[in-house]
Chain A
Amino acid sequence: MTNNLEELLSSLPESNMTVRLLNGLDYLVPGEWTNITSLHLAIREATGEGEEDVIGAIAGRAIELYMDPDNGYQRAVSLYSLVDSASTFAGFTSLAGKLGEDVEWLGFLQNVTPKVETTQAIDAGLKLACELGAFCITNGLPGDSIGDFMGAVANSAKEDKMRLAAWIACDCFLPLGPDFMLKIISTVESAAESDFMQSGLFQRVADFLPGGGVAEKKDLVTNNLKAAEGYVNGFVAEKGMSHEGVLAKIKEVIDVNEDRLDYAAAVIDMSTNYFLHTGTQSVARRVITRAYGEI
């Protein structure tokens, strides 16, 4: 992946399945997200500055800050990237598990893939923990400060809010139903360490998460979920999220059979990279904001 912030933003697609999905879910966080794919525009949007000499100075410093790996911004983008490449695998195992339920011929898949709901729940919890990890890498709050993180999440805006809305809709609500937080927390709490070890996502991101062994990281995921529970449930209630509403938007992007929401979730998981896409935009905003504060 490039270490040039301008190239990084320019490499984001202006239109693809991910962008269509995010546009479809925009109704959950109206006005928060636009698909910004140029550094110049990102600076104007993040700072409200319009003078070219000011924009040029911000760009110069932002490029410098991003390019130096010691600042951690490249690492945060890598983490977002790993979340999505791993979810491709989780999507595959979920789908394979579903096919196994349906078809005797594929019955053996049941034995080699994790139970669907366990996979979904663990991965959903891990994704939220990765969000905490990426936030701490870019903004520097201590890794164990979940209270600070949730304060910041509650204050979050723009791309962060869009990503959180997509996580709630696609990784939680769609596959697990309206009481998803209860399901996720109880699954993660009762999951064995081996369940975590089996998660492709966990294998990829474990090094990025605070804590020594699997047990500590499992605790982090659990505590993070519990800290987020009130906020997430409030979000669902406030937005009046319903299966019909979410599904109607998803159907604009993917042709899915209405009674197979788990398939829809698996297809989205495999065919979009909304964590990396909006995560890149979030990191760019944070670098730009800092550059603006430093010039």
Chain B
Amino acid sequence: MPKIPSSMLAALLSATLLLASAGCKKDEPQFADAAAAAEKKLEEKKALGENAPKEIEGKKLNAFFPEELEGGKRTFTTEKPGYVEAKYAKDGKDVCVLTIADIVDNADSKDKYAKSTEKIGEFPVATFGKKQTMVLVKDRYQAKIISDTLTHEQRKAILEKIDLKKIATL
């Protein structure tokens, strides 16, 4: 018979038992309605096929991200169709995150501008929660600053530095 170390067998057995007992039941889902809505939206998208709205290429949004903001240097963190995100950090500390999103298939995001009283140029400004300030360009492109440390006024001032008029030409 092969000499398999007993510790090996014990480890294998306990590993098998532990794997088998994994996956205990948790609480009921909290976001079941959101999942149902997402399923419906996906069905609608599939039904539209080629006619479904197309988001802009991420690369076309990259140009609107300044190399520096508030002394923080840019690191691109995400580039997906219709969404680009970059983090700005100074001396190892995060200053802010800038995102630009094409919300052509995300109409819910526009709701918050209905009550907007502020503007940058012609474009409405909104906030959501305590850390975000955003602006909607051409009813389609949303530029947003997220920061733990900056105030709404400071975040808005940063958005004023973005070439929103050029975004409107996309």
Contacts and interface: CB of A to CB of B under 8 A. Distances in A.
Interface of A: 4, 6-7, 10-11, 13-14, 16-17, 37-40, 48-49, 51, 54, 56-57, 59-61, 63-64, 67-68, 71-72, 99, 102-103, 105-106, 139-141, 148, 151-152, 155, 254-257, 260, 263, 267, 270-272, 286, 289-290, 292-295
B69 to A, nearest CB: 15
B117 interface: no
B78 A140 contact: yes
Given A63-B31, A271-B18, A294-B106, A255 B23 contact: no
Contacts of B16: 271
Contacts of B12: 267, 270-271
Contacts of B75: 151, 155
B10 interface: yes
Contacts of B129: 49, 51, 54
Contacts of B29: 4, 6-7, 10
B34 A48 contact: no
Given A72-B80, A255-B14, A256-B7, 19 more contacts: A4-B29, A6-B30, A10-B26, A13-B22, A13-B23, A17-B18, A51-B129, A56-B31, A59-B31, A60-B108, A63-B31, A99-B2, A140-B58, A140-B78, A257-B7, A263-B8, A290-B80, A290-B85, A293-B101
Contacts of A290: 78, 80, 83, 85
Top 4 closest pairs, chain A to chain B, by CB: A271-B15, A293-B99, A16-B22, A54-B129
Given A60-B108, A255-B10, A294 B35 contact: no
A102 B3 contact: yes
A254 B15 contact: yes
Given A48-B131, A292-B146, A17 B15 contact: yes
B15 A270 contact: yes
Contacts of B130: 51
Contacts of A151: 75
Given A17-B18, A49-B129, A289 B3 contact: no
Given A260-B5, A290-B78, A63 B128 contact: no
Contacts of B19: 16-17, 271
Interface residues of B, number: 58
Contacts of A16: 18-19, 21-22
Interface of B: 1-5, 7-8, 10-12, 14-16, 18-19, 21-24, 26-27, 29-31, 34-35, 37-39, 41-42, 45, 58, 75-81, 83, 85, 87, 97, 99, 101, 103, 106, 108-109, 128-131, 142, 144, 146, 148
B30 A39 contact: yes
B12 to A, nearest CB: 7
Contacts of B5: 257, 260, 263
Contacts of B81: 140
Contact of B11 (A64, A267, A293): A267
Given A67-B38, A68-B42, A293 B15 contact: no
A17 B22 CA distance: 9
A73 to B, nearest CB: 10
B163 to A, nearest CB: 19
Nearest to B98: A293
26 contacts: A7-B29, A10-B26, A10-B27, A40-B30, A48-B131, A49-B129, A54-B128, A56-B34, A57-B128, A59-B30, A59-B34, A60-B31, A67-B42, A68-B42, A105-B2, A140-B80, A141-B76, A148-B76, A151-B75, A257-B5, A267-B8, A286-B78, A290-B85, A293-B144, A294-B142, A295-B109
